Amino acid sequence: MALTHYPVVNKNGETIASAVTNLDLHDISRVAKTYGVQAFYVVTPLTDQKFLVERIVSHWTRGAGASYNPKRGEALALINIKDTLTDVLDHINSKGKGFPKTVVTCARSINRSIGYATFRKMLASGNPYLLVFGTAWGLSNSYIDEVDFVLEPIEGNSEYNHLAVRSAAAIILDRLMGRER
Amino acid sequence: MALTHYPVVNKNGETIASAVTNLDLHDISRVAKTYGVQAFYVVTPLTDQKFLVERIVSHWTRGAGASYNPKRGEALALINIKDTLTDVLDHINSKGKGFPKTVVTCARSINRSIGYATFRKMLASGNPYLLVFGTAWGLSNSYIDEVDFVLEPIEGNSEYNHLAVRSAAAIILDRLMGRER
């Protein structure tokens, strides 16, 4: 899976590079580890933000955090920092698994979106997929237009549709990778 | 639902009052609003912590945050601050719905725990339930011993079992209150 800080849109629909949020790294890597995700890519082209992510990860995997709470480091060790989503695809391909199909999550309803049961079956096939989450006000439309699949939005049981990406990632991984109930 | 900062345990199993985390309030109230939860109780007996929660909530419901992002205030308006879980039960009872049964979430497996499908059916009965989440290293055993029901832990598909309470709340509300898929 990938958490993307560029290209995303701000409140006014302008394409921006968003800032990395510390708790996104912690919460999403812990969810990824719980559900057996193979890698968690943090995507940002900004040098200072890449440095920040590297410092956070190393604190918990090799620094003082590693002895304070080793379970945290196990999760954060899933993080790979990349400049672009293209670099992520290349990295996965370099592992000998081929280029993954890209599946983006989006809070807006998109015509061609696929459901959770459908994607769950696709995952069971063993082919590689990259599940992409956006930050800020979501992935830019021009990026969404180019991906292979769009996952349908999470519907709760109200008209309110404004989850944190941390919460969306938790719910989506449970729906896709959780044990059958 | 309630997010409890006392009585919880720390890393060493000692009962403590934990500090309130800003993003717990944001993420969990947004999840609660999405899934139609009626109230989100933040439980802490500490005066400074109650003041902090009140300041955060008022910023988004009545202060500058209300105009910057009104959707955030809609969610945070679900928050009620209470000293103890007994106060929460009294408050719900004072609304004329009777005392709710308490159901706690716990990452540890407890003998008498109930499953998600079972609790989903109980909720459909229309009787009031209070779903209780702990912070820090979880609710104290002495508190868990006294509640009506314990919900079974979230199992991902790995042996890793260390989700943030924010993530656990998102997954559990989706399992209990999400539209049937």
pLDDT of res. A101: 98
8 A C-beta contact, residue A81 and residue A44? yes
For residue A43, the enclosing domain spans 2-177
What are the tens digits of pLDDT across the range B115-161?
999 999 999 999 999 999 999 999 999 999 999 999 999 999 899 99
Distances (CA, A) of B51 to A102, B46, B102: 45, 9, 26
**Chain B: residue whose CA lies nearest to A156:** B35
Query: Any CB–CB contact under 8 A between B160 and chain A?
Result: yes
Q: Which two tokens stand for residue A179?
A: 């044990």
A160 contacts chain B (CB < 8 A): yes
Residue ranges of chain A whose pLDDT lies below 70? 180-181
For the cut 70, the answer to whether the pLDDT of residue B181 exceeds it is no
User: For all residues of chain B together, what is the average pLDDT?
Assistant: 95
What b-and-e string marks burial along A83-118, b requiring 16 or more CB atoms within 10 Å of the CB? Answer: eebeebbeebeeeeeeebebbbbbeeebeebeebee
3-state secondary structure of B34: helix
Q: Does A177 lie at the interface with B, CB-CB under 8 angstroms?
A: yes
Which chain A residue has the Cα nearest residue B30? A163
pLDDT tens digits, one per residue of B34-43: 999 999 999 9
Provide the pLDDT confidence category of residue B111 given band limits of 50, 70 and 90.
confident
* Cα dihedral: B19, B23, B26, B32 (round 10): -80
CATH code (residue B89)? 3.40.1280.10
Q: Between chains, do B163 and A26 touch, taking CB under 8 Å as contact?
A: no
Residue B65, pLDDT score: 95
Q: Which residues face B105 on adjacent strands?
A: B151
Enumerate the residues of chain A whose CB falls inside 8 A of the CB of residue B27.
Answer: 164, 166-167
How many domains is chain B partitioned into structurally? 1
Query: Does the global pTM surpass 0.95?
Result: yes
d(Cα A46, Cα A5) in Å, to the nearest integer? 9
Are B162 and B20 spatial neighbours (Cβ–Cβ below 8 Å)?
Answer: no
| Model ipTM value | 0.96
